[in-house]
Amino acid sequence: MYARVIVDIAHGSVDKIFEYSCEDSVKAGCRVKVPFGGRVIDGFVMEVSDKSEYPPSKIKPVSAVYDEPPALVPECFSLMQSMAKRYRVPKAVVLRLFIPSEMRLGKVREIYKKRVKFISDIPLSKSAAKQKQFLEFLQAEKDVDYTISCDQFGRGAVNSVIEKGGGELYRVRVNRSPLGGEEEREQGKTLTPAQVDALNSIKSSVQTVQLIHGVTGSGKTEIYLNAIAAAVKQGKTAIFLVPEISLTPQMLSQLRRRFGGGAAILHSGLSAGERFDEWWRLRTGEARIAIGARSAIFAPLENLGVIIIDEEHDSSYFSESSPRYSTLDIAKMRAEYNGCKLILGSATPSVESYALAKKGEYNLITLTERINGRPMPEIEIADMRKEVKRGNNSAFSQALRDELKDTLDGGRQAIIFLNRRGYSHTVICQECGYVATCEHCDVSLAYHSEENCLKCHYCGTKYRMPKACPECGGLHLRYGGTGTQKVVADLKSAFPQARILRMDNDTTSGKEGHYKILKSFGDHKADILVGTQMIAKGHDFPSVTLVGILDADMSLHFSDYRAGERTFQLITQVSGRSGRAGEAGRVVLQTSCPENYILRYAVNYDYEGFFNNEIALRETTQFPPFSLIVRVMVTAEEDRFALEALKKVWFDIDGLRQNRPEKFIFLNKMHSPIKKIQGKVRYQVLMRLTDDGLLEEIYDISVKHSSDNALVYVEENPANLS
Binding mask 534-553 for ligand ADP (x = CB under 6 A): ------x-------------
DSSP conformational letter for 262: G
- Rounded Cα distance between 648 and 661, Å, is 19
Contact between 436 and Zn ion per CB under 5 A: no
Residue 371 in the binding site for ligand ADP (CB under 6 A): yes
Cα(443)–Cα(422) distance, rounded to whole angstroms?
A: 15
Residue, CB closest to ligand ADP:
221
Least CB distance from residue 540 to ligand ADP, whole Å?
6
Q: Does 395 bind Zn ion (CB under 5 A)?
A: no
Q: Taking CB within 5 to 8 Å according to partner kind, which of ligand ADP, Zn ion, none is near residue 455?
A: none
Q: What's the CA gap between 526 and 529, in Å, rounded?
A: 7
Cβ within 8 Å of residue 615, ≥6 positions away = 351, 355
Pick what 131 binds: ligand ADP, Zn ion, none; C-beta below 5 to 8 Å, kind-dependent: none
Q: In angstroms, rounded to a whole number, what is the distance separating the alpha carbons of residues 109 and 386?
A: 62
* Closer of 429 and 570 to ligand ADP (Cβ): 570
Task: Determine if the peptide bond prior to 56 is cis (ω within 30°).
Answer: no
Q: Which stretch binds Zn ion (CB under 5 A): 100-108, 460-468, 501-509, 622-630?
A: 460-468
Please report whether residue 305 would count as binding ligand ADP according to CB under 6 A: no
Q: In what order do the strands lie in the sheet with 477-482?
A: 462-464, 453-455, 446-448, 424-429, 477-482
Give the shortest CB-374-to-ligand ADP separation in angstroms: 10
Nearer to ligand ADP, 208 or 250 (CB): 250
Give Rg (Cα) of the chain.
30
The pair phi, psi for residue 553, each rounded to 5°, is -90, -5
- Residue 214 interacts, among ligand ADP, Zn ion, none and using kind-specific CB cut-offs from 5 to 8 Å, with ligand ADP
- How far is residue 273's CA from residue 109's CA, in Å, rounded to a whole number? 7
**Window of 111-119, 140-148, 197-205, 211-219 that interacts with ligand ADP by CB under 6 A:** 211-219
Which of 131, 175, 221, 507 binds ligand ADP (CB under 6 A)? It is 221
Contacting Zn ion (CB under 5 A), which of 459, 581, 665, 703? Answer: 459
CA dist., res. 259 & res. 254, Å (int): 9
> From the list Zn ion, ligand ADP, none, which binds 438 (C-beta under 5 to 8 Å, kind-based)?
Zn ion
Count of residues touching Zn ion (by CB under 5 A): 7
Q: Does the footprint of Zn ion cover residue 680 (CB under 5 A)?
A: no
Query: CA nearest 655: which of 620, 616, 700?
Result: 700
Residue 237 and residue 296 in contact, taking contact as beta carbons nearer than 8 Å = no
Does 220 engage in binding with ligand ADP (CB under 6 A)?
yes
Specify burial of residue 93 (Cβ count, 10 A radius: 0-12, 13-18, 19+): buried
Nearer to Zn ion, 275 or 425 (CB): 425
**Min dist. Cβ of residue 563 to Zn ion (A):** 24
The answer to whether the beta carbons of residues 365 and 201 sit under 8 Å apart is yes
Q: Are the C-beta atoms of residues 283 and 300 closer than 8 Å to each other?
A: yes
For ligand ADP, the binding residue among 43, 100, 166, 219 (CB under 6 A) is: 219
Of 14, 28, 191, 199, the one binding ligand ADP by CB under 6 A: 191
Q: If binding is defined by CB under 6 A, does position 218 make contact with ligand ADP?
A: yes
CA distance 42 to 67: 13
Q: Which does 441 bind (CB under 5 to 8 A by kind): Zn ion, ligand ADP, none?
A: Zn ion
Identity of the residue, 218 or 532, whose beta carbon is nearer to ligand ADP in the bound complex: 218
Q: Which helix (H) or strand (E) holds 598?
A: helix 597-603
CB-CB contact of 267 with 297 (8 Å): no
Q: Choose one: 53-61, 220-228, 419-427, 430-438; the region binding ligand ADP (CB under 6 A).
A: 220-228
> N- to C-terminal Cα distance for the chain?
52
Pick from ligand ADP, Zn ion, none: which does 459 bind, CB < 5 to 8 A by kind?
Zn ion
* Element spanning 656, H or E: helix 639-659
Residues 210-229 that bind Zn ion (CB under 5 A): none
The Cα–Cα gap between 273 and 107 comes to 9
Q: Which of 97, 290, 304, 438 binds Zn ion (CB under 5 A)?
A: 438
**Would you give the distance in Å from CA 689 to the centre of its chain?**
29
SS (H, E, C) 447-485: EECCCCEEECCCCCCEEECCCCCCCCCCCCEEEEEECHH
Other C-beta atoms closer than 10 Å to the C-beta of 426 total 18
Which CB, 394 or 437, lies closer to Zn ion? 437
Task: Rounding to the nearest 10 degrees, give the CA dihedral for residues 228, 229, 231, 232.
Answer: 120
- Pick one of Zn ion, ligand ADP, none as the site partner of residue 458 (Cβ within 5 to 8 A by kind): Zn ion
Residue 584 or 670 having the CB closest to ligand ADP: 584
Residue span 309-348 as binding mask against ligand ADP, x where in contact by CB under 6 A, dash where not:
----------------------------------------
Q: By CB under 6 A, name the one of 192, 322, 398, 596 that touches ligand ADP.
A: 192
Which of 75, 222, 274, 504 contacts ligand ADP by CB under 6 A?
A: 222
Is the bond preceding residue 178 a cis peptide, omega within 30 degrees? no
Q: Which residue in 458, 479, 495, 626 binds Zn ion (CB under 5 A)?
A: 458
- Of these, 43, 100, 214, 377, which contacts ligand ADP (CB under 6 A)? 214
Q: Which is nearer to ligand ADP, 371 or 438 (CB)?
A: 371
Angle (CA) 513 518 522, round 5°: 155
State the number of binding residues for ligand ADP (CB under 6 A).
15
What residue ranges bind ligand ADP (CB under 6 A)?
189-192, 195, 214, 216-222, 371, 540
What residue ranges bind Zn ion (CB under 5 A)?
438, 440-441, 456, 458-459, 461
